[in-house]
Chain A
Amino acid sequence: MALPTMTHSSAFLLPTGSSTPADAAATTYALIVLNQRLPRFAPLLWARGDASLSLSLSRFPTASLPALAPLFPGFLIGFPCFVSLTLVRACLLGTARLRLCADGGANRVFDGMLELLPDEDPAEVRKRYKPDVIKGDMDSIRPEVMEYYSNLGANIVDESHDQDTTDLHKCVSFITRNPPGPENSNLCILVLGALGGRFDHEMGNINVLYRFSEIRIILLSDDSSIFLLPKTHTHKIRIERLIEGPHCGLIPIGAPSTSTTTTGLRWNLDNTSMSYGGLVSTSNIVEEDEVTVTSDSDLIWTISIQN
Protein backbone atom coordinates (compact mmCIF):
# COMPACT_ATOMS: atom_id res chain seq x y z
CA MET A 1 0.00 0.00 0.00
CA ALA A 2 1.43 3.38 -1.00
CA LEU A 3 2.32 5.76 1.80
CA PRO A 4 0.79 9.23 1.86
CA THR A 5 3.11 11.98 0.65
CA MET A 6 4.52 14.76 2.81
CA THR A 7 5.99 17.81 1.08
CA HIS A 8 8.72 19.95 2.58
CA SER A 9 9.77 23.43 1.57
CA SER A 10 12.42 25.88 2.84
CA ALA A 11 10.62 28.84 1.33
CA PHE A 12 11.06 30.66 4.64
CA LEU A 13 14.74 31.15 3.71
CA LEU A 14 13.98 32.60 0.27
CA PRO A 15 14.99 36.17 -0.54
CA THR A 16 12.15 36.68 -3.04
CA GLY A 17 8.44 35.96 -2.64
CA SER A 18 7.65 35.41 -6.30
CA SER A 19 8.95 31.86 -6.49
CA THR A 20 7.22 30.73 -3.29
CA PRO A 21 5.35 27.49 -4.02
CA ALA A 22 1.54 27.78 -3.80
CA ASP A 23 1.13 25.48 -0.80
CA ALA A 24 3.89 27.20 1.18
CA ALA A 25 1.68 30.30 1.36
CA ALA A 26 -0.70 28.39 3.63
CA THR A 27 2.05 27.73 6.19
CA THR A 28 2.16 29.51 9.51
CA TYR A 29 5.56 29.76 11.10
CA ALA A 30 6.52 29.93 14.74
CA LEU A 31 10.09 30.73 15.74
CA ILE A 32 11.86 29.43 18.84
CA VAL A 33 15.22 30.87 19.90
CA LEU A 34 17.40 28.77 22.22
CA ASN A 35 20.46 29.91 24.14
CA GLN A 36 23.19 29.89 21.51
CA ARG A 37 24.70 32.44 19.19
CA LEU A 38 22.16 33.56 16.58
CA PRO A 39 22.77 32.40 13.00
CA ARG A 40 23.37 35.22 10.53
CA PHE A 41 19.88 34.87 8.97
CA ALA A 42 18.02 35.32 12.28
CA PRO A 43 16.63 38.77 11.32
CA LEU A 44 15.27 37.19 8.13
CA LEU A 45 13.14 34.73 10.06
CA TRP A 46 11.73 37.25 12.45
CA ALA A 47 8.69 39.36 11.51
CA ARG A 48 5.77 41.03 13.04
CA GLY A 49 2.20 40.13 12.10
CA ASP A 50 0.93 41.36 8.72
CA ALA A 51 -0.92 44.44 10.08
CA SER A 52 2.20 46.00 11.53
CA LEU A 53 4.48 44.78 8.75
CA SER A 54 3.85 47.64 6.31
CA LEU A 55 4.25 50.18 9.13
CA SER A 56 7.62 48.86 10.23
CA LEU A 57 8.80 48.58 6.61
CA SER A 58 7.98 52.21 5.86
CA ARG A 59 10.36 53.10 8.66
CA PHE A 60 12.92 50.52 7.52
CA PRO A 61 16.02 52.62 7.05
CA THR A 62 17.49 52.10 3.61
CA ALA A 63 20.95 52.26 5.23
CA SER A 64 20.22 48.87 6.78
CA LEU A 65 19.64 47.12 3.45
CA PRO A 66 23.38 46.68 2.78
CA ALA A 67 23.53 44.75 6.09
CA LEU A 68 21.29 42.12 4.51
CA ALA A 69 23.11 42.26 1.16
CA PRO A 70 25.59 39.46 1.96
CA LEU A 71 22.58 37.15 2.25
CA PHE A 72 21.40 38.00 -1.26
CA PRO A 73 24.42 38.65 -3.43
CA GLY A 74 23.52 40.76 -6.41
CA PHE A 75 19.92 41.34 -5.37
CA LEU A 76 20.12 44.46 -3.27
CA ILE A 77 23.35 46.20 -4.13
CA GLY A 78 22.78 48.95 -6.70
CA PHE A 79 18.99 48.52 -6.77
CA PRO A 80 16.82 51.60 -6.34
CA CYS A 81 15.34 51.89 -2.81
CA PHE A 82 11.74 51.02 -3.62
CA VAL A 83 12.70 47.84 -5.47
CA SER A 84 14.92 46.82 -2.57
CA LEU A 85 12.09 47.44 -0.12
CA THR A 86 9.82 45.20 -2.19
CA LEU A 87 12.34 42.36 -2.04
CA VAL A 88 12.82 42.78 1.69
CA ARG A 89 9.06 42.86 2.22
CA ALA A 90 8.68 39.74 0.12
CA CYS A 91 11.16 37.84 2.22
CA LEU A 92 9.70 39.04 5.50
CA LEU A 93 6.20 37.94 4.47
CA GLY A 94 7.16 34.29 4.66
CA THR A 95 8.32 34.54 8.25
CA ALA A 96 7.24 33.97 11.82
CA ARG A 97 3.84 34.77 13.31
CA LEU A 98 4.90 33.77 16.82
CA ARG A 99 8.32 34.25 18.34
CA LEU A 100 9.34 32.46 21.52
CA CYS A 101 12.59 32.71 23.39
CA ALA A 102 13.53 29.75 25.53
CA ASP A 103 15.11 31.27 28.64
CA GLY A 104 18.62 32.50 27.68
CA GLY A 105 17.52 32.68 24.05
CA ALA A 106 16.18 36.08 25.10
CA ASN A 107 19.74 37.19 25.95
CA ARG A 108 20.81 36.07 22.49
CA VAL A 109 18.11 38.14 20.77
CA PHE A 110 18.79 41.14 23.04
CA ASP A 111 22.54 41.08 22.26
CA GLY A 112 22.73 39.29 18.93
CA MET A 113 20.31 41.24 16.74
CA LEU A 114 22.38 44.38 17.34
CA GLU A 115 25.50 42.53 16.15
CA LEU A 116 23.73 41.31 13.02
CA LEU A 117 22.36 44.78 12.20
CA PRO A 118 25.25 47.05 13.19
CA ASP A 119 24.20 49.96 10.96
CA GLU A 120 20.83 50.41 12.62
CA ASP A 121 19.79 52.30 15.69
CA PRO A 122 20.22 49.88 18.65
CA ALA A 123 17.12 51.06 20.51
CA GLU A 124 15.01 50.62 17.37
CA VAL A 125 16.42 47.11 16.73
CA ARG A 126 15.77 46.03 20.32
CA LYS A 127 12.14 47.17 20.13
CA ARG A 128 11.57 45.61 16.71
CA TYR A 129 12.90 42.19 17.66
CA LYS A 130 10.76 41.61 20.70
CA PRO A 131 9.70 38.05 21.49
CA ASP A 132 6.02 37.37 22.04
CA VAL A 133 6.77 34.79 24.75
CA ILE A 134 9.72 33.95 26.97
CA LYS A 135 9.45 30.52 28.48
CA GLY A 136 11.52 28.00 30.36
CA ASP A 137 13.19 27.49 33.70
CA MET A 138 14.64 31.05 33.74
CA ASP A 139 18.07 30.14 35.03
CA SER A 140 19.92 31.77 32.13
CA ILE A 141 17.98 34.91 31.17
CA ARG A 142 19.58 38.06 32.56
CA PRO A 143 17.31 40.07 34.91
CA GLU A 144 17.63 43.27 32.84
CA VAL A 145 16.71 41.38 29.64
CA MET A 146 13.62 39.87 31.30
CA GLU A 147 12.58 43.29 32.58
CA TYR A 148 13.09 44.97 29.21
CA TYR A 149 10.95 42.51 27.27
CA SER A 150 8.38 42.27 30.05
CA ASN A 151 7.94 46.06 29.91
CA LEU A 152 7.40 45.79 26.15
CA GLY A 153 4.60 43.32 26.71
CA ALA A 154 6.30 39.94 26.21
CA ASN A 155 4.50 37.12 27.98
CA ILE A 156 6.91 35.63 30.55
CA VAL A 157 6.07 32.04 31.44
CA ASP A 158 8.24 30.74 34.26
CA GLU A 159 8.50 26.96 34.37
CA SER A 160 11.37 26.59 36.79
CA HIS A 161 9.29 24.02 38.70
CA ASP A 162 9.40 21.66 35.73
CA GLN A 163 12.84 20.07 35.43
CA ASP A 164 11.60 16.99 33.57
CA THR A 165 11.57 18.46 30.09
CA THR A 166 13.98 20.60 28.14
CA ASP A 167 13.34 24.23 27.28
CA LEU A 168 12.70 23.30 23.66
CA HIS A 169 10.17 20.67 24.65
CA LYS A 170 8.35 23.23 26.81
CA CYS A 171 8.25 25.73 23.93
CA VAL A 172 6.95 23.20 21.41
CA SER A 173 4.28 22.08 23.91
CA PHE A 174 3.27 25.72 24.38
CA ILE A 175 2.92 26.24 20.63
CA THR A 176 0.80 23.10 20.24
CA ARG A 177 -1.54 24.41 22.96
CA ASN A 178 -1.57 27.95 21.50
CA PRO A 179 -1.24 27.48 17.73
CA PRO A 180 -0.67 30.71 15.81
CA GLY A 181 -2.35 31.40 12.50
CA PRO A 182 -5.64 30.24 11.01
CA GLU A 183 -6.92 26.78 11.93
CA ASN A 184 -6.51 25.21 8.53
CA SER A 185 -2.97 26.41 7.88
CA ASN A 186 0.11 24.19 8.16
CA LEU A 187 2.22 24.90 11.21
CA CYS A 188 5.99 24.87 10.88
CA ILE A 189 8.22 25.55 13.88
CA LEU A 190 11.67 26.99 13.14
CA VAL A 191 14.26 26.60 15.89
CA LEU A 192 17.50 28.53 16.24
CA GLY A 193 20.29 27.46 18.61
CA ALA A 194 19.38 23.76 18.90
CA LEU A 195 22.54 22.40 17.26
CA GLY A 196 26.17 22.58 18.34
CA GLY A 197 27.08 23.52 21.90
CA ARG A 198 26.64 20.87 24.56
CA PHE A 199 26.10 17.48 22.97
CA ASP A 200 23.50 16.35 25.50
CA HIS A 201 21.44 19.45 24.71
CA GLU A 202 21.70 18.76 20.99
CA MET A 203 20.55 15.16 21.48
CA GLY A 204 17.69 16.28 23.72
CA ASN A 205 16.64 18.76 21.02
CA ILE A 206 16.74 16.12 18.30
CA ASN A 207 14.66 13.89 20.55
CA VAL A 208 11.98 16.60 20.55
CA LEU A 209 11.64 16.06 16.76
CA TYR A 210 10.83 12.41 17.45
CA ARG A 211 8.51 13.07 20.36
CA PHE A 212 6.50 15.60 18.33
CA SER A 213 6.78 13.73 15.04
CA GLU A 214 3.38 14.92 13.83
CA ILE A 215 4.57 18.56 13.84
CA ARG A 216 6.99 20.06 11.33
CA ILE A 217 9.96 21.26 13.36
CA ILE A 218 13.15 22.47 11.66
CA LEU A 219 16.42 22.94 13.58
CA LEU A 220 18.64 25.60 11.97
CA SER A 221 22.23 26.69 12.42
CA ASP A 222 24.62 28.79 10.35
CA ASP A 223 25.78 25.58 8.68
CA SER A 224 22.80 23.23 8.49
CA SER A 225 19.08 22.68 8.50
CA ILE A 226 17.68 19.41 9.90
CA PHE A 227 14.21 17.90 10.26
CA LEU A 228 12.57 14.53 10.82
CA LEU A 229 11.21 12.41 7.95
CA PRO A 230 8.65 10.12 9.66
CA LYS A 231 8.47 6.60 8.22
CA THR A 232 4.70 6.95 7.91
CA HIS A 233 5.10 9.06 4.74
CA THR A 234 6.93 9.28 1.45
CA HIS A 235 8.73 12.59 1.44
CA LYS A 236 9.15 15.20 -1.28
CA ILE A 237 11.74 17.75 -0.26
CA ARG A 238 11.88 20.90 -2.39
CA ILE A 239 15.41 22.24 -2.49
CA GLU A 240 16.02 25.99 -2.69
CA ARG A 241 19.33 25.73 -4.50
CA LEU A 242 20.21 29.42 -4.10
CA ILE A 243 20.18 29.07 -0.33
CA GLU A 244 20.81 25.46 0.62
CA GLY A 245 22.91 22.50 -0.38
CA PRO A 246 24.58 20.94 -2.14
CA HIS A 247 25.74 18.84 0.82
CA CYS A 248 23.07 16.72 2.46
CA GLY A 249 22.57 13.57 4.47
CA LEU A 250 20.07 11.04 5.79
CA ILE A 251 20.76 9.90 9.33
CA PRO A 252 19.12 6.93 11.07
CA ILE A 253 19.36 8.24 14.63
CA GLY A 254 18.06 5.90 17.27
CA ALA A 255 16.97 3.10 14.95
CA PRO A 256 18.53 1.48 11.90
CA SER A 257 16.74 1.46 8.56
CA THR A 258 16.42 -1.81 6.65
CA SER A 259 15.28 -0.13 3.49
CA THR A 260 15.54 3.47 2.28
CA THR A 261 15.04 4.64 -1.31
CA THR A 262 15.76 8.11 -2.64
CA THR A 263 15.73 10.14 -5.85
CA GLY A 264 17.43 13.46 -6.60
CA LEU A 265 20.77 12.77 -4.92
CA ARG A 266 24.17 12.08 -6.41
CA TRP A 267 24.39 8.80 -4.48
CA ASN A 268 20.81 7.63 -4.31
CA LEU A 269 19.76 4.86 -1.98
CA ASP A 270 17.88 1.94 -3.48
CA ASN A 271 16.27 -0.26 -0.80
CA THR A 272 19.53 0.33 1.03
CA SER A 273 20.12 -0.43 4.69
CA MET A 274 21.52 2.24 6.94
CA SER A 275 22.65 2.08 10.56
CA TYR A 276 25.16 3.40 13.01
CA GLY A 277 28.15 1.13 12.68
CA GLY A 278 27.38 0.70 9.01
CA LEU A 279 26.30 3.04 6.26
CA VAL A 280 25.04 6.51 7.18
CA SER A 281 24.37 8.78 4.22
CA THR A 282 26.51 11.88 4.76
CA SER A 283 28.32 14.29 2.41
CA ASN A 284 25.78 13.36 -0.23
CA ILE A 285 25.00 15.92 -2.94
CA VAL A 286 21.62 17.27 -4.04
CA GLU A 287 21.35 17.11 -7.82
CA GLU A 288 17.70 17.96 -8.51
CA ASP A 289 15.25 20.59 -7.30
CA GLU A 290 13.27 17.87 -5.54
CA VAL A 291 14.55 14.98 -3.45
CA THR A 292 12.26 12.08 -2.56
CA VAL A 293 12.78 9.74 0.38
CA THR A 294 10.90 6.61 1.42
CA SER A 295 12.09 4.56 4.37
CA ASP A 296 10.96 1.91 6.83
CA SER A 297 12.48 3.96 9.64
CA ASP A 298 12.29 7.56 10.87
CA LEU A 299 15.24 9.47 9.42
CA ILE A 300 16.83 12.83 10.05
CA TRP A 301 17.30 14.80 6.81
CA THR A 302 20.07 17.38 6.86
CA ILE A 303 21.15 19.91 4.25
CA SER A 304 23.89 22.52 4.39
CA ILE A 305 23.06 26.22 4.31
CA GLN A 306 25.21 28.32 2.03
CA ASN A 307 27.29 31.27 3.21
Chain B
Amino acid sequence: MLCRAVRPMDVMKHSSSFLLPKLNQPANAPAKNHALVVLNQHLPRFMPHLWAHAKLRICADGGANRIFDEMFQMTNDQDQKITRNKYIPEIIEGDMDSIRPEVKLFYSNQGSKIFDKSHNQETTDLHKCISRIHHHTPDNEKSDLSVLVTGALGGRFDHEAANINVLYVFSDMRIVLLSDDCLIRLLPKTHRHELYIESSAKGHIVDFFLLVHHQQVLQPLA
Protein backbone atom coordinates (compact mmCIF):
# COMPACT_ATOMS: atom_id res chain seq x y z
CA MET B 1 0.00 0.00 0.00
CA LEU B 2 1.35 3.38 -0.92
CA CYS B 3 1.32 5.97 1.84
CA ARG B 4 1.91 9.59 1.15
CA ALA B 5 3.99 11.28 3.80
CA VAL B 6 2.15 14.37 4.93
CA ARG B 7 4.33 17.14 6.25
CA PRO B 8 2.88 18.30 9.53
CA MET B 9 1.61 21.90 9.47
CA ASP B 10 3.61 24.57 11.18
CA VAL B 11 2.18 25.61 14.51
CA MET B 12 1.13 29.19 15.12
CA LYS B 13 0.84 30.20 18.76
CA HIS B 14 -1.42 32.93 20.05
CA SER B 15 -1.64 34.61 23.40
CA SER B 16 -3.63 37.49 24.83
CA SER B 17 -1.04 38.62 27.34
CA PHE B 18 -1.54 42.19 26.09
CA LEU B 19 -4.70 42.22 28.20
CA LEU B 20 -2.56 41.89 31.32
CA PRO B 21 -0.52 44.69 32.84
CA LYS B 22 2.88 44.99 31.23
CA LEU B 23 4.73 43.69 34.28
CA ASN B 24 2.93 40.34 34.24
CA GLN B 25 4.15 39.14 30.85
CA PRO B 26 4.91 35.42 30.41
CA ALA B 27 8.50 34.81 29.32
CA ASN B 28 7.54 32.95 26.16
CA ALA B 29 4.81 35.22 24.76
CA PRO B 30 4.51 34.44 21.02
CA ALA B 31 4.39 38.02 19.77
CA LYS B 32 6.92 40.28 21.37
CA ASN B 33 5.95 43.53 19.69
CA HIS B 34 2.62 45.22 19.56
CA ALA B 35 1.12 47.97 17.48
CA LEU B 36 -2.21 49.60 18.29
CA VAL B 37 -4.80 50.93 15.86
CA VAL B 38 -7.67 52.96 17.29
CA LEU B 39 -10.87 53.25 15.25
CA ASN B 40 -13.76 55.62 15.85
CA GLN B 41 -15.84 53.89 18.52
CA HIS B 42 -15.93 53.97 22.33
CA LEU B 43 -12.62 52.83 23.82
CA PRO B 44 -12.68 49.47 25.64
CA ARG B 45 -12.12 49.69 29.39
CA PHE B 46 -8.64 48.05 29.24
CA MET B 47 -7.30 50.60 26.75
CA PRO B 48 -4.48 51.84 29.02
CA HIS B 49 -3.01 48.27 29.08
CA LEU B 50 -3.08 48.10 25.28
CA TRP B 51 -1.46 51.51 24.96
CA ALA B 52 1.33 50.54 27.36
CA HIS B 53 2.13 47.38 25.37
CA ALA B 54 2.26 49.04 21.96
CA LYS B 55 5.42 50.45 20.44
CA LEU B 56 3.43 52.16 17.73
CA ARG B 57 -0.02 53.73 18.08
CA ILE B 58 -2.04 54.80 15.09
CA CYS B 59 -5.38 56.57 15.29
CA ALA B 60 -7.61 56.06 12.29
CA ASP B 61 -9.27 59.44 11.74
CA GLY B 62 -11.96 59.85 14.46
CA GLY B 63 -10.11 57.35 16.65
CA ALA B 64 -8.08 60.39 17.66
CA ASN B 65 -11.24 62.03 19.05
CA ARG B 66 -11.78 58.93 21.18
CA ILE B 67 -8.30 59.06 22.72
CA PHE B 68 -8.63 62.82 23.26
CA ASP B 69 -12.05 62.49 24.97
CA GLU B 70 -12.16 59.10 26.65
CA MET B 71 -8.75 58.13 28.06
CA PHE B 72 -9.12 60.39 31.08
CA GLN B 73 -11.92 58.38 32.71
CA MET B 74 -9.77 55.22 32.53
CA THR B 75 -6.89 56.73 34.45
CA ASN B 76 -6.33 58.06 37.95
CA ASP B 77 -5.06 61.37 36.62
CA GLN B 78 -6.23 64.51 38.38
CA ASP B 79 -6.65 66.50 35.25
CA GLN B 80 -7.66 65.80 31.65
CA LYS B 81 -4.68 67.81 30.40
CA ILE B 82 -2.28 65.40 32.09
CA THR B 83 -3.96 62.44 30.39
CA ARG B 84 -4.02 64.12 27.01
CA ASN B 85 -0.30 64.80 27.18
CA LYS B 86 0.45 61.20 28.15
CA TYR B 87 -1.43 59.50 25.32
CA ILE B 88 -0.10 60.90 22.06
CA PRO B 89 -0.42 58.66 18.99
CA GLU B 90 2.61 58.44 16.73
CA ILE B 91 0.42 58.56 13.62
CA ILE B 92 -3.05 59.75 12.66
CA GLU B 93 -4.20 58.43 9.31
CA GLY B 94 -7.37 58.21 7.24
CA ASP B 95 -9.76 60.30 5.23
CA MET B 96 -9.99 62.92 7.99
CA ASP B 97 -13.73 63.43 7.77
CA SER B 98 -14.35 62.60 11.44
CA ILE B 99 -11.38 64.00 13.40
CA ARG B 100 -12.24 67.33 15.02
CA PRO B 101 -10.05 70.27 13.93
CA GLU B 102 -8.94 71.08 17.52
CA VAL B 103 -7.99 67.42 18.11
CA LYS B 104 -5.95 67.32 14.91
CA LEU B 105 -4.21 70.56 15.87
CA PHE B 106 -3.44 69.34 19.41
CA TYR B 107 -1.81 66.10 18.29
CA SER B 108 -0.01 67.75 15.40
CA ASN B 109 1.52 70.24 17.87
CA GLN B 110 2.51 67.33 20.10
CA GLY B 111 4.40 65.65 17.28
CA SER B 112 1.93 63.13 15.82
CA LYS B 113 2.43 62.60 12.09
CA ILE B 114 -0.79 63.27 10.20
CA PHE B 115 -1.35 61.35 6.95
CA ASP B 116 -4.34 62.68 5.09
CA LYS B 117 -5.64 59.98 2.75
CA SER B 118 -8.94 61.63 1.82
CA HIS B 119 -8.17 61.20 -1.89
CA ASN B 120 -8.23 57.43 -1.45
CA GLN B 121 -11.83 56.28 -1.14
CA GLU B 122 -11.13 52.71 -2.27
CA THR B 123 -10.13 51.32 1.12
CA THR B 124 -11.33 51.70 4.69
CA ASP B 125 -9.39 53.60 7.35
CA LEU B 126 -8.42 50.31 9.01
CA HIS B 127 -7.13 48.95 5.72
CA LYS B 128 -4.96 52.06 5.27
CA CYS B 129 -3.49 51.73 8.78
CA ILE B 130 -2.77 48.01 8.47
CA SER B 131 -1.34 48.55 5.02
CA ARG B 132 1.13 51.06 6.46
CA ILE B 133 2.21 48.66 9.21
CA HIS B 134 2.42 45.81 6.71
CA HIS B 135 4.58 47.89 4.38
CA HIS B 136 6.98 48.92 7.12
CA THR B 137 7.37 45.52 8.77
CA PRO B 138 9.96 43.18 7.21
CA ASP B 139 8.56 39.72 6.45
CA ASN B 140 10.74 38.00 9.00
CA GLU B 141 9.41 40.27 11.74
CA LYS B 142 5.72 39.88 10.93
CA SER B 143 5.23 36.84 13.16
CA ASP B 144 6.74 38.74 16.09
CA LEU B 145 4.30 41.60 15.71
CA SER B 146 0.69 41.63 16.93
CA VAL B 147 -1.53 44.49 15.75
CA LEU B 148 -4.25 45.27 18.28
CA VAL B 149 -7.30 47.08 16.96
CA THR B 150 -10.04 48.76 19.00
CA GLY B 151 -13.37 49.99 17.66
CA ALA B 152 -13.59 47.57 14.72
CA LEU B 153 -16.61 45.62 16.00
CA GLY B 154 -20.18 46.78 16.60
CA GLY B 155 -21.43 50.00 15.03
CA ARG B 156 -22.36 49.97 11.34
CA PHE B 157 -22.52 46.37 10.11
CA ASP B 158 -20.85 47.03 6.77
CA HIS B 159 -17.91 48.66 8.59
CA GLU B 160 -17.60 45.61 10.84
CA ALA B 161 -17.71 43.28 7.82
CA ALA B 162 -15.03 45.34 6.05
CA ASN B 163 -12.85 45.32 9.18
CA ILE B 164 -13.10 41.53 9.42
CA ASN B 165 -12.14 41.33 5.77
CA VAL B 166 -8.90 43.16 6.60
CA LEU B 167 -7.91 40.11 8.71
CA TYR B 168 -8.25 37.94 5.59
CA VAL B 169 -6.59 40.38 3.18
CA PHE B 170 -3.55 40.68 5.48
CA SER B 171 -3.59 37.05 6.61
CA ASP B 172 0.21 37.00 6.97
CA MET B 173 -0.09 39.41 9.90
CA ARG B 174 -1.31 38.86 13.43
CA ILE B 175 -4.25 41.23 13.85
CA VAL B 176 -6.58 41.14 16.85
CA LEU B 177 -9.89 43.01 16.88
CA LEU B 178 -10.91 43.93 20.43
CA SER B 179 -14.10 45.12 22.05
CA ASP B 180 -15.28 45.35 25.65
CA ASP B 181 -16.89 41.93 25.26
CA CYS B 182 -14.47 39.84 23.22
CA LEU B 183 -11.51 39.57 20.91
CA ILE B 184 -11.36 37.95 17.49
CA ARG B 185 -8.50 36.82 15.29
CA LEU B 186 -8.06 34.90 12.06
CA LEU B 187 -6.70 31.36 12.23
CA PRO B 188 -5.27 30.78 8.74
CA LYS B 189 -5.78 27.29 7.35
CA THR B 190 -2.06 27.12 6.55
CA HIS B 191 -1.20 26.46 10.21
CA ARG B 192 -2.21 24.43 13.20
CA HIS B 193 -3.08 26.81 16.00
CA GLU B 194 -2.42 26.82 19.71
CA LEU B 195 -4.26 29.42 21.73
CA TYR B 196 -3.13 30.23 25.24
CA ILE B 197 -5.98 31.42 27.43
CA GLU B 198 -5.21 34.05 30.02
CA SER B 199 -7.46 32.77 32.75
CA SER B 200 -6.87 35.87 34.86
CA ALA B 201 -8.35 37.89 32.00
CA LYS B 202 -11.25 35.47 31.68
CA GLY B 203 -13.75 38.23 32.16
CA HIS B 204 -12.57 39.68 28.86
CA ILE B 205 -12.11 36.56 26.78
CA VAL B 206 -15.21 34.54 26.13
CA ASP B 207 -14.74 32.27 23.14
CA PHE B 208 -12.48 31.89 20.18
CA PHE B 209 -14.31 31.32 16.95
CA LEU B 210 -13.16 29.73 13.78
CA LEU B 211 -14.75 31.45 10.82
CA VAL B 212 -13.52 29.29 7.99
CA HIS B 213 -13.34 30.68 4.49
CA HIS B 214 -15.72 28.90 2.15
CA GLN B 215 -17.48 27.16 4.97
CA GLN B 216 -19.98 28.11 7.61
CA VAL B 217 -18.31 26.60 10.66
CA LEU B 218 -18.71 28.23 14.04
CA GLN B 219 -17.09 26.37 16.86
CA PRO B 220 -15.92 27.47 20.29
CA LEU B 221 -12.44 26.27 21.10
CA ALA B 222 -12.27 25.22 24.73
Contact status of A302 and B158, CB under 8 A, knowing A199-B184, A200-B207, A255-B214? yes
Q: How many residues of A contact B (CB 8 A)?
A: 33
Contact flags B195-217 to A (C-beta < 8 A → 1, else 0) = 00000000000110101011110
In contact, B156 and A277 (Cβ under 8 angstroms):
no
Contacts of A47-84 to chain B: CB distance below 8 A: none
In contact, B156 and A223 (Cβ under 8 angstroms):
yes
The reply to whether the CB of B159 lies closer than 8 angstroms to some CB of chain A is yes
Consensus secondary structure, chain A interface? mixed
Chain B residues whose C-beta falls within 8 Å of the C-beta of A277 in the assembled complex = 165, 168-169, 171, 213
Chain B residues whose C-beta falls within 8 Å of the C-beta of A223 in the assembled complex = 155-157
In contact, A197 and B154 (Cβ under 8 angstroms):
yes
| A280-B167 Cα distance, complex, nearest whole Å | 13
Most chain A C-beta atoms within 10 Å of own C-beta, residue among B154, B156, B182, B216? B156
Chain B contact-residue range equals 20 to 34
| A282-B125 Cα distance, complex, nearest whole Å | 13
B161 to chain A, nearest CB (A): 5
Contact of A200 among B168, B209, B213, B215 (CB under 8 A): B209
Contacts of A250-307 to chain B: CB distance below 8 A: 251, 253-256, 275-278, 280, 282-284, 300, 302, 304
In contact, B162 and A283 (Cβ under 8 angstroms):
yes
Contact status of A251 and B153, CB under 8 A, knowing A198-B182, A210-B216, A277-B171? no
| A197-B179 Cα distance, complex, nearest whole Å | 8
Contact flags B1-34 to A (C-beta < 8 A → 1, else 0) = 0000000000000000000000000000000000
In contact, B158 and A276 (Cβ under 8 angstroms):
no
Which chain A residue shows the least CB distance to B183? A199
In contact, B158 and A200 (Cβ under 8 angstroms):
no
The reply to whether the CB of A10 lies closer than 8 angstroms to some CB of chain B is no
| A120-B215 Cα distance, complex, nearest whole Å | 49
Contact of A224 among B156, B171, B184, B215 (CB under 8 A): B156
Chain B residues whose C-beta falls within 8 Å of the C-beta of A282 in the assembled complex = 124, 158-159, 161-162, 165
Contact status of A276 and B157, CB under 8 A, knowing A199-B184, A200-B218, A256-B214? no
In contact, B216 and A254 (Cβ under 8 angstroms):
yes
Contact status of A197 and B181, CB under 8 A, knowing A203-B218, A204-B218, A255-B214? yes
In contact, A302 and B171 (Cβ under 8 angstroms):
no
Besides the contacts A210-B216, A253-B161, A256-B214, what 12 more A-B pairs have beta carbons closer than 8 Å?
Answer: A198-B206, A199-B179, A200-B220, A207-B218, A223-B155, A226-B157, A255-B214, A276-B164, A277-B165, A282-B124, A282-B162, A300-B161
**Could you show 20 A-B contacts with beta carbons less than 8 Å apart?**
A195-B157, A199-B182, A199-B209, A210-B216, A223-B155, A223-B157, A224-B157, A226-B157, A249-B157, A251-B157, A255-B214, A276-B165, A277-B165, A280-B162, A282-B158, A282-B165, A283-B162, A302-B157, A302-B158, A304-B156
